[in-house]
Structure 1
Amino acid sequence: MNWWRRLRGGGPPGPRGATGGDAHLARAADSLRALIDDPAIPRAVRDALAEDYAEIQAQLDKLEQAQLHVAVFGRVSVGKSALLNALAGRDAFGTGVLHGTTVRQQRVSWDSAAAEAPGLGPLILIDTPGIDELDGEARDALAHEVAERADLVLFVVDADMTAVEHRALLRIAVPGRPLLLVLNKADRYTPQERDALLRRLTEHAEGRLRPAQVVAAMAAPAPQRVLRELPGGGEEIVERPRVPDVAALRAAILDLMAREGRTFSALNAALAASRLSDAVGERLTGLRREAADRIVHAYCLAKGATVALNPIPVADLFAAAALDVALVAHLGRVYGMTPSRAEAGRLLAVILGQLAALMGAVWGVNLVASALKLGTGGLSTIATGGAQGALAWYATYVVGRVAERWYAQGRSWGEGGPKQVVREIVESLDRDSILREARGEILARLRGGRAR
Structure 2
Amino acid sequence: GDTLLSLWDRLQTAPWYIASPFAFILLVFSSASAVILWKLLGPAKKSVAKKVLLDEASLQQRIKDADESGIEINAAREELRKLYQRRKTGKLYIALTGAISTGKSSLVNSLLPDAEAHSEVSGGTTRKIIEYHWLTPSADEVILIDMPGLLDAANDELSHIARSEAIRAHLVIYLCDSDLTRQQLHELKLLAELKKPLILALNKSDWYSDEERQQIRQRLREHTADISDITIVTIRTQTEKQVTIELPDGTETSELRCTEPDIRELARALQHRIDSDPERLEKLRDSAIFSLASGCLDEAELKQRVEKGQVLVRNHTRSAVVGAMAAVSPGTDILIQGALGISLIKNLCSLYDIPVSQLEIDRLLKLGQSRLNRHIALIMAVLGNALKAFPGLGTLAGGALHAVTYGMIFDALGRSLNEILASRGELATLPVINRFTENLGDQLEKRSSDIIRLVLESRDKQEK
CA distance in 1, matches of 2:338, 2:456: 22
Question: Residue 443 of structure 1: CA displacement?
Answer: 3.0
CA distance in 1, matches of 2:81, 2:292: 14
Asked if 1:358 is matched to 2:358, the reply is no
Instruction: Please tell me the root mean square deviation across aligned C-alpha atoms, in Å.
Output: 5.5
Asked if 1:253 is matched to 2:270, the reply is yes
Change in CA separation of 1:384 and 1:350 when aligned onto 2, cut-off 3 Å: same
Pick from 28, 34, 46 the counterpart of residue 73 of structure 2.
46
Match of 2:328, SS state, is coil
Give yes or no for contact 2:133–2:144 (8 Å, CA) kept in 1.
Answer: yes
Matches within 5 A, 1:283-362: 283-314=300-331, 317-318=334-335, 321-336=338-353, 348-359=361-372, 361-362=373-374
Quote the residue 1:442 is aligned against. 455
TM (normalized to structure 2)?
0.55
CA distance in 1, matches of 2:337, 2:182: 62
Give yes or no for contact 1:78–1:156 (8 Å, CA) kept in 2.
Answer: no
Give yes or no for contact 1:29–1:64 (8 Å, CA) kept in 2.
Answer: no
Quote the residue 2:439 is aligned against. 428
CA distance in 1, matches of 2:183, 2:416: 44
CA distance in 1, matches of 2:49, 2:343: 34
Quote the residue 2:169 is aligned against. 150
Q: Deviations over 1:371-413 (max 9, x none)?
A: 4456887855311110111122133224424553675478843
Asked if 1:105 is matched to 2:118, the reply is no
Pick from 76, 80, 83 the counterpart of residue 108 of structure 2.
80
Quote the residue 1:5 is aligned against. 51
Quote the residue 2:33 is aligned against. none
Match of 1:314, SS state, is coil
CA distance in 1, matches of 2:425, 2:49: 23
Match of 1:396, SS state, is helix
Change in CA separation of 1:183 and 1:402 when aligned onto 2, cut-off 3 Å: closer
Give yes or no for contact 2:134–2:142 (8 Å, CA) kept in 1.
Answer: yes
Question: Residue 365 of structure 1: CA displacement?
Answer: 3.6
Change in CA separation of 1:77 and 1:248 when aligned onto 2, cut-off 3 Å: closer
Amino acid at match of 1:181: A
Matches within 5 A, 1:29-68: 36=63, 39=66, 42-47=69-74, 50=75, 53-59=77-83, 68=92
Amino acid at match of 2:320: K
Amino acid at match of 2:306: R
Question: Residue 435 of structure 1: CA displacement?
Answer: 4.2
Amino acid at match of 2:375: W
Amino acid at match of 1:306: G
CA distance in 1, matches of 2:293, 2:67: 14
Change in CA separation of 1:144 and 1:276 when aligned onto 2, cut-off 3 Å: closer
Give yes or no for contact 1:104–1:128 (8 Å, CA) kept in 2.
Answer: yes
Quote the residue 1:214 is aligned against. 233
Question: Residue 419 of structure 1: CA displacement?
Answer: 5.4
Amino acid at match of 1:5: K
Change in CA separation of 1:66 and 1:328 when aligned onto 2, cut-off 3 Å: same
Q: Which runs of 5+ in 1 are unaligned?
A: 8-26, 86-90, 96-101, 114-122, 132-136, 220-243
Change in CA separation of 1:294 and 1:106 when aligned onto 2, cut-off 3 Å: same
Give yes or no for contact 1:80–1:156 (8 Å, CA) kept in 2.
Answer: no
CA distance in 1, matches of 2:385, 2:300: 41
Between Structure 1 and Structure 2, which shows a larger proportion of strand residues?
Answer: 2
Give yes or no for contact 1:325–1:344 (8 Å, CA) kept in 2.
Answer: no
Amino acid at match of 2:328: P
Change in CA separation of 1:273 and 1:382 when aligned onto 2, cut-off 3 Å: same
Match of 2:201, SS state, is strand
Amino acid at match of 1:286: K
Match of 1:5, SS state, is coil
Give yes or no for contact 2:235–2:265 (8 Å, CA) kept in 1.
Answer: yes
Match of 2:142, SS state, is strand
CA distance in 2, matches of 1:399, 1:279: 29
Match of 1:443, SS state, is helix
| Aligned positions, number | 361
Question: Residue 37 of structure 1: CA displacement?
Answer: 5.1
Match of 2:72, SS state, is helix
Change in CA separation of 1:354 and 1:69 when aligned onto 2, cut-off 3 Å: same
Question: Residue 80 of structure 1: CA displacement?
Answer: 3.4
Give yes or no for contact 2:321–2:404 (8 Å, CA) kept in 1.
Answer: yes
Change in CA separation of 1:103 and 1:58 when aligned onto 2, cut-off 3 Å: closer
Change in CA separation of 1:171 and 1:385 when aligned onto 2, cut-off 3 Å: closer
Change in CA separation of 1:281 and 1:422 when aligned onto 2, cut-off 3 Å: same
Pick from 178, 182, 195 the counterpart of residue 198 of structure 2.
178
Match of 2:427, SS state, is coil
CA distance in 2, matches of 1:34, 1:380: 59
Match of 1:429, SS state, is helix
Q: Which runs of 5+ in 2 are unaligned?
A: 1-46, 118-127, 149-153, 239-260
Amino acid at match of 1:443: L
Give yes or no for contact 2:332–2:406 (8 Å, CA) kept in 1.
Answer: no
Pick from 378, 384, 388 the counterpart of residue 398 of structure 2.
384
Give yes or no for contact 1:371–1:388 (8 Å, CA) kept in 2.
Answer: no
Change in CA separation of 1:202 and 1:143 when aligned onto 2, cut-off 3 Å: farther
Pick from 424, 427, 445 the counterpart of residue 413 of structure 1.
427
Amino acid at match of 1:45: E
Percent of residue pairs bearing the same amino acid type:
17
Change in CA separation of 1:381 and 1:57 when aligned onto 2, cut-off 3 Å: same
Question: Residue 83 of structure 1: CA displacement?
Answer: 3.6
